[in-house]
Amino acid sequence: LILSGVAGRLRERFGKLSGFDTWVLDAKTEPYCEFLEDATNVVYLTSDGDEVVQEFDPNTTYIIGGIVDRNRMKGATARKARLQGLRTARFPLDEYVAMGANITRVLTVNCCIDIILEHLKTKDWTQTFLKCLPERKGAQERGEDEEDSDNGDEGDS
């Protein structure tokens, strides 16, 4: 696990988090585009991604962005990834759980990490989402007769 772009004020803020120095990750000061050499095996996770994640490939690097796309900067994550020549993908939320049409599919970085770790453990998207999505999302197991919903939200997954 790599945390990139950790410099300046961001580094100071992380330094104030209790236990940050014990996190099992590599905190790099440079942005990911400076140290990821082969973009063919890089996928930027965003709720408006072009692809849908079915499983996590151990030979692929997955980027969870910290751009908040929901309101003022809709679609910023996907645009940034595309400009950098990176593939984009989203979690299969609507394929496995039902949420209200007005519920955003934009997720926090912590939630994305929980989803990835839980799915790697269980290989079950429905149970992963029911366990990891915040209660405010109102996720329920999708019935077989329910149609896919497209709420048009764009943003970080």
d(CA 113, CA 9): 23
Closest CA to 105 of 43, 48, 45: 48
38 is annotated as an active-site residue: no
Catalytic residue among 48, 69, 94, 156: 69
d(CA 36, CA 32): 6
Q: State the pairing for strand pair 42-45/61-64.
A: parallel
Catalytic (active-site) positions: 69
